Chain A
């Protein structure tokens, strides 16, 4: 059971903290120009962050207690390939579709 006090302390501070993180650069820099070296690195934020989030979830899924699961690996690969070739929506469909189909078969 989570105590009410713990919950509200956590939620309010997490809300404020998360906002400050999101606002950080937008708030401070605003319309000022950023240095060239920063812009160079910032072009890669998306491709630098997203694989760091999904890779462990694919390779060591919490649902299998970290055991490698060929079904999840295959489904992830399908989503990635379709995402590269086609677009976002088919990537999601291919990923989840492959996942459910393979699990149904095996």
Chain B
């Protein structure tokens, strides 16, 4: 494999994240429309999108406020949706943790599911990647997603036309996460983890405030790790 300079890595990240525009455009527009329908003005809608940049949490918070839930319940529920990103943060430490404090803060602000999935896949496939190239790659991923997220929220909020329910844009969200998962399934432990996650979330759907996701994810990580250890032990035994 050829050595990646920081500049090349940036553009590689940009291109690798490009497919997600297909999802980000309708999804961010949908948020703009839903926010206006909920009675937010243009400035409020954009403030929320820019301060939070986390689609699922924004939809959750908005829906709860509309249902007249107390503010702190809406806040906690939406934060629980975002707790998964603490796991992303941890998983990114070995790759981009070396960056300056201010750069890390900016990377944290920009952290979204798509960029995380694409970055981690690339970092693991290219262990030869230089630390500076990894940071550049990360920003390349986000430089594509973020402007689209802002601008199409604005378009949705500005146009304000209700998107016909018959388009079922709600289904774009699970499809997006399925598309993120597929390429990550590279080994038996990955399959085990994904399967445990899917089954566990159905079993723990009753856990309040969306915390079932954290339960399922923790069980799945342990299953993946244990499967990897088991396979390693078995391989070692076979070799001996």
Contacts and interface: CB of A to CB of B under 8 A. Distances in A.
On whether the two chains bind one another, the answer is: yes
B221 interface: yes
Interface string B144-175: 00000000000000000000010010111111
Given A2-B39, A25-B93, A18 B52 contact: yes
A32 B97 contact: yes
Interface of A: 1-2, 4, 6-7, 9-15, 17-19, 21-27, 29-34, 37-63, 72, 75-76, 79-80, 82-84, 87-89, 91-93, 95-96, 99, 103
A99 B168 contact: yes
B220 interface: yes
Contact of A2 (B65, B171, B172): B65
B236 interface: no
A53 B165 CA distance: 22
B75 A17 contact: yes
Given A47-B197, A79-B178, A88-B180, 14 more contacts: A7-B40, A7-B44, A10-B71, A25-B92, A45-B120, A49-B217, A50-B194, A53-B84, A54-B175, A56-B202, A75-B171, A84-B183, A91-B175, A92-B179
A45 B97 CA distance: 17
Contacts, number: 292
B116 interface: yes
Chain B contact residues, majority secondary structure: helix
A88 B22 CA distance: 11
Contacts of A95: 175, 178-179
B125 to A, nearest CB: 13
Contacts of A87: 19, 183
Contacts of A18: 52-54, 57, 79, 82, 85
Interface of B: 18-20, 22-23, 38-40, 44, 47-48, 51-54, 56-57, 61-62, 65-66, 71, 74-75, 78-79, 82-94, 96-98, 101, 104-105, 107-109, 111, 113, 116-117, 120-121, 124, 165, 168, 170-185, 189-191, 193-198, 200-202, 205, 212-213, 216-218, 220-225, 228-229
A84 B182 contact: yes
Given A26-B93, A48-B197, A84-B185, A14 B61 contact: yes
13 contacts: A2-B65, A11-B52, A14-B61, A25-B89, A26-B97, A26-B108, A45-B120, A50-B177, A52-B213, A55-B201, A76-B174, A79-B175, A95-B179
Given A22-B88, A54-B177, A46 B197 contact: no
A20 B178 CA distance: 27
A37 B175 CA distance: 32
Contact of A45 (B20, B83, B87): B87
B20 to A, nearest CB: 7
A6 B65 contact: yes
A98 to B, nearest CB: 10
Contacts of B189: 44
B224 A44 contact: yes
Given A25-B86, A25-B93, A14 B57 contact: yes
